[in-house]
Every structure is written in structure tokens, then in C-alpha cells.
Amino acid sequence: MHIFRRVDSLAAILLIILFFTPWLRVVDGESVNTAWGINVPDVAVTFGEVAGTPERPVIDAYLVILIPIFALLFVIQTFRNVEARGLGLVTALLPLGFLLLLWLRVGQDYFAALYVGFWLSQLAALLMLFALVGDLAIARAIDTVSTTVGKVMFWTSLVMVLIGVYNVITRYLGTRIGIQLSSNVYLELQTYAYNLIFLLGAPYVLMKNSHVRIDILTDRLSHKGKAIIDIFGAVLLLVPLCLLSIYFSQSYIATSFRQLETSPNPGGLLRYPIKFIIIVAFVMLILQGVSETIKNLAFVRGVPNSGSMHELPPEVNEPKITEQTEVI
């Protein structure tokens, strides 16, 4: 049976099975709910959160039913030997989108109620996505995003310098002529620029292998050995760190969002967008970690042009002196 040899259709079958496993756990009682019995307002009340109010019916709770339907259609199409990429993509993206919806709606407490079936179905969805798109294509797409954001940060650093100079000049002129010229807006813009540079620049820096390492012991390893260390590092260190940070940041940031927090300084800027950037940065770091892992795995397997940083000759992280003048 050729459908069992294809990773994407296997993932679709997995999605159908997992749909009937327990997704939710009610902490006080003993009952576990499958995706069938999912009821967002009930769970939210259990956790004392304000989510979907009774007047506003929660539609997304019923959207989950689409997951097994689409997956089934996909399996049937594969069985009939029909190429069904679009259908597969939708099937793979549904659980991921559902996670996002839940998170946006209920927040941190919901994660405590999610049971193993939910997480496994997320993994199955990711697997399906990888199989459909081709893993290196995903890595390239993530790299493109990181590079683009990194390049934007380049110019942010220049803008930051200009804002800094503007701040100095206005403050100095202001004290000289006795008029308040400087404003908190530009001071905070300067700080925000600095935040953006180091938060959103981090995935780019990871991609370029410019995060400092202590490689005195591992320096003599082969390129493959280094790639293996990077795979383990990303899976065991980078991604858990980012997940932990996201988990413990979200209620803090959600509070800021709910209050539409602004800076306490007079004339200050909005605060909640920059706090949200923390989560964006960690998500981007996770994605970049996934991308590095995919590339390193391909490199270890011996795929040519994997794009792994260990495949390229090590990038010389030193200033290039344009002309080596023959001094004296």
C-alpha cells in the first residue's frame, strides 16, 4: 500500500486517530475531554478566566471538527493517487491555527488544561507540513524571514544613531535657549530601536553563527560532529528556553495588552507593542532553531547544499581591511 509509505498521508491518518484521543483535562475532576467534547467557555470558567462570553458563541471550538474531515479527504485523495497538496496544507495548518486561536483567546491557563492528545496532534500537523513542503524548503523560508528582519534591523541601528543625535542636540539647545525641545517620544524611540535590534536581530545572528560559543574543547571536532552538537543544542537547549520564556511571559504581556499599557513618562509611547516583541523574538528564535536543525540534519545525512553553517567554510568574523597598506 503506497499510502503508508508516504509521510504526509501517515501524518494525516495520525491526525484522524489523535482527534479521538483526550485533548483536555479538567484539573479538579477526573474527566478528560476529547476534541469532540471541547467547550471553551466551560474550561475558561473552570480556570477563572474571561474568554468567550455566553452571548458570543465560540465558533472556533467547533472548527476542530474540520481537522478529521480534511485529513480523511486527504487520505482518500492519496489513495486515489491524486495530488492534493492544497488540501494537505489546509489540514496541516488547521491544528496549528487552532492552537494560536486558543492561546489568543484564553492565554496561559489553557495550556495547563491541554492534554497529551492535543500536543501529539500538533506534532502530527508539523510533520505533515514538513513532508508536504519539503524540509529544506521550510528551512530556506525561515532563513529568508530571519535575513529580511535582520536587514531591517541594520537600518534600524542607523536610525537609532540619528535619533540619538537628535536627542542630544535638542536637549542641549533646549537648555541653552530655555525651551523644552526634547521629548520623551524620541528618547523612547531610541530605546525601542535598541530593543528591536537585539530581540529581532537574534535569529539573524543565530543563522550567521555569531552568537559567542565556548569552543575550546569542541574546536577539533569534525564539521559533522559540530553539526550534531548543534542539533542537540537546538532541541534540548534553545527551544526549551524559548518555550519556557514564552510560557512565563504570556500573562505579563497579555495584561499589558488588556490595559493597552502606555509608558508612564509624560508623552510616552505605547508599551504593549514592544512587550509583544519579546514573544515574537522567542517565536522567531524557535523557528530559526528548527531551520538550523533541519539544515544540520540534512548535512549529517550527507545531502549536498544543505545550507548548514558547518558545511560552508567557517565565516571569518573579522573586520576586512580593504587595503593592506605597506606601512612605512
Partner 1 sequence: MLGLWMFAAAVVILLMGYPVAFSLGGTAVLFTLIGSDLLPTIFGITLPWAPEGVVMGERLFRVARLNALPQGIFGSIMDNYTLVAVPFFVFMGVMLEKSGLAEELLETMGILFGRLRGGLAISVVTIGALLAASTGVVGASVVTMGVLALPVMLKYNYDKGIATGVVASSGTLGQIIPPSIVLVILGDQIGVSVGDLFLGSFIPGFMLAGLFILWVIFVAFTKPDDVPALPEDARKVEPANVSIFVKIALMILSFALFYLIASAIVSLILPTVTFFEANQAVLPNTLHEFIAVIGLLVLYVRYWNAPLFFKVVSNLLPPFFLIIVVLATIFFGIATPTEAGAMGAVGAMILAAINRRLSLENLNEAMDQTVRLTSMVFVILIGATVFTLVFRALGGDRVITNFLLDLPGGSAGFLFFSMLIIFLLGFFIDFIQITFIVVPILTPIAVQVIGADPRLSQIFSVVGTSGTPFFNEQLALLWFGVIIAMNLQASFLTPPFGFALFYLKGVAPPSVQTTDIYRGIIPFIAIQLVALLLIIFFPQIVLWLPAMAR
164 binding partner 1? (CB under 8 A): yes
Going by C-alpha positions, the residue among 71, 53, 68 that lies closest to residue 3 is 71
Task: Rule CB under 8 A: say whether 190 interacts with partner 1.
Answer: yes
132 vs 300, beta carbon nearer partner 1? 300
State the Rg of the chain over Cα: 25
Taking the C-alpha atoms of residue 201 and residue 285, their distance in angstroms, rounded to an integer, is 10
Nearer to partner 1, 3 or 257 (CB): 257
- Length of the chain (residues): 328
Question: Which residue, among 48, 21, 16, 17, has the nearest Cα to 33 in the 3D structure?
Answer: 21
Among 76, 120, 197, 269, binds partner 1 (CB under 8 A): 197
The DSSP symbol for 75 reads H
Nearer of residues 88 and 201 to partner 1, judged by Cβ: 201
3-state SS class at 59: coil
Binding mask 304-323 for partner 1 (x = CB under 8 A): -------------xxxxxx-
Grid coordinates belonging to 61: 471550538
Between 275 and 295, name the residue whose CB sits nearer to partner 1. Answer: 275
Q: Pick from 81, 180, 222, 324: which binds partner 1 (CB under 8 A)?
A: 324
Site for partner 1 in 242-301 (CB under 8 A): 244-245, 248-249, 251-253, 274-275, 278
Q: Which of 40, 202, 284, 309 binds partner 1 (CB under 8 A)?
A: 202
At closest approach, how far in Å is the CB of 149 from partner 1? 10
Positions 7 through 66 that interact with partner 1 (CB under 8 A): none
d(CA 24, CA 31): 9
Rounded CA-CA distance 196/202 in Å is: 10
Measured from the CB atom, is 6 or 211 closer to partner 1?
211
CA distances from residue 79 to 74, 129, 237 in whole angstroms, order as listed: 9, 19, 40
Residue 42 CA to residue 32 CA, distance in Å, equals: 13
In the bound complex, what is the minimum distance in angstroms from residue 281's beta carbon to partner 1? 9
User: Is the dihedral angle over the CA atoms 59, 65, 69, 71 positive or is it negative?
Assistant: positive
Q: Are 70 and 94 in contact (CB under 8 A)?
A: yes
Cell numbers given for 262: 502606555
Name the one range near partner 1 by CB under 8 A: 11-19, 126-134, 135-143, 190-198: 190-198
Contact 243, 265 (CB under 8 A): no
State the nearest-atom distance from the C-beta of 11 to partner 1, in Å: 25
End-to-end CA distance of the chain: 78
Q: Is 165 in the site for partner 1 (CB under 8 A)?
A: yes
The 120-159 contact track toward partner 1, x by CB under 8 A, reads ------------------------------x--xxx-xx-
x-marked contacts with partner 1 along 59-98 as a string, rule CB under 8 A: ----------------------------------------
Helix, strand counts (H, E) of the chain: 12, 2
Q: Footprint of partner 1 on residues 204-233 (CB under 8 A)?
A: 204-206, 208, 210-219, 221, 226, 229-230, 232-233
If the CB atoms of residues 94 and 187 are measured against partner 1, the closer one turns out to be 187
One of 236, 262, 267, 305 touching partner 1 (CB under 8 A): 236
